[in-house]
Chain A
Amino acid sequence: MVNRKMKQTATIALTAVMALSLAACGNSNSNTGADKKDNAAPNAATGSGNSTATNAPSDKKVTLTFQNIYPDPATPNYKMIRELTDAYMKEHPNVTIELDTLNTDQQKVKLKTQAASKEVPDITIVNPAAQMKPFVDAGLLAPLNDMLDQNGLKDTYQKGLLDYYSFDNNVYAIPDGNNIEVVYYNKDLFAQAGIAAPPTTFEEMLQDVKILKDKGITPLAIGEKDSWTGSFLFMNILLRTNGGPGFLQDVIDGKKTFEDPAFIEAVDAFQALVQAGAFPDGATSIDATAGGNIFRTGKAAMWCIGSWETGAIDASPVAGKVGAFQFPTVNGKGDPNEFMLAPGSAFAISANSEHLQEAKDFLNFFGTQYPKKQFELKNAVGIGQKVDGDLKAAGYSDLAVNIAGLFNQVKGGDLAFDNTMNPATAQVHLSSIQNLFVQKMDSAAVAKEHQAAFEANK
Chain B
Amino acid sequence: MKVLKVPARTIAAFIVPCLLLYVCLVFVPILVSFFTGLLKWDGLTSSQFVGFGNFKEMFWHDPVFWPSVRRTLLYAVASMLEIPLCLGMAILLNRYVRKGNTLVSIYFTPVILSVVIIGQLWKTIYNPTSMGGMLNGVFVSLGLESWTHNWLTEPAIAMYALYLVSLWQYFGYHLLIQYTGVQNIPDELYEAAKIDGADGFKADRYITLPLIVPIFKISIILAFIGSLQAFDLVMVMTGGGPAHATDVISTHMYNSSFLSFKYGYGSAIATFLVVVCLLFTGVINTIFNRLERKFN
Spell out A's residues near B (CB within 8 Å).
108-109, 112-113, 115-116, 134-135, 137-138, 140, 218, 224-225, 227, 280-285, 422-424, 426-427, 431-432, 434-435, 437-439
Contacts and interface: CB of A to CB of B under 8 A. Distances in A.
Contacts of A422: 261
A430 to B, nearest CB: 8
Given A135-B44, A283-B153, A109 B242 contact: no
Contacts of A115: 43-44
B68 to A, nearest CB: 13
A285 B152 contact: yes
A103 to B, nearest CB: 12
Given A281-B130, A282-B152, A438 B243 contact: yes
Contact of A434 (B129, B150, B243, B260): B243
A364 to B, nearest CB: 27
B241 interface: yes
A446 to B, nearest CB: 11
A113 B261 CA distance: 10
A115 B43 CA distance: 8
* Secondary structure type dominating chain B contacts: loop
Interface of B: 42-45, 123, 127-131, 150, 152-155, 237-239, 241-245, 255, 258-263
B44 A137 contact: yes
Contact of B258 (A109, A138, A225): A109
A112 B261 contact: yes
A134 B261 contact: yes
Contact of A285 (B44, B45, B237, B244): B237
Cβ-closest 3 pairs across A and B = A435-B243, A281-B128, A138-B44
Contact of B45 (A112, A138, A432): A138
Contacts of B45: 134, 137-138
Given A113-B258, A115-B44, A138-B44, A284 B128 contact: no
A427 B255 CA distance: 9
A138 B237 CA distance: 34
A431 B260 CA distance: 12
A250 B260 CA distance: 22
A282 B238 contact: no
A116 B131 contact: no
A227 B255 CA distance: 13
Given A282-B131, A431-B243, 6 more contacts: A112-B43, A116-B43, A281-B131, A282-B152, A285-B238, A285-B241
A88 to B, nearest CB: 30
Which of B128, B238, B260: most chain A CB closer than 10 A?
Answer: B260
Contacts of A434: 241-243
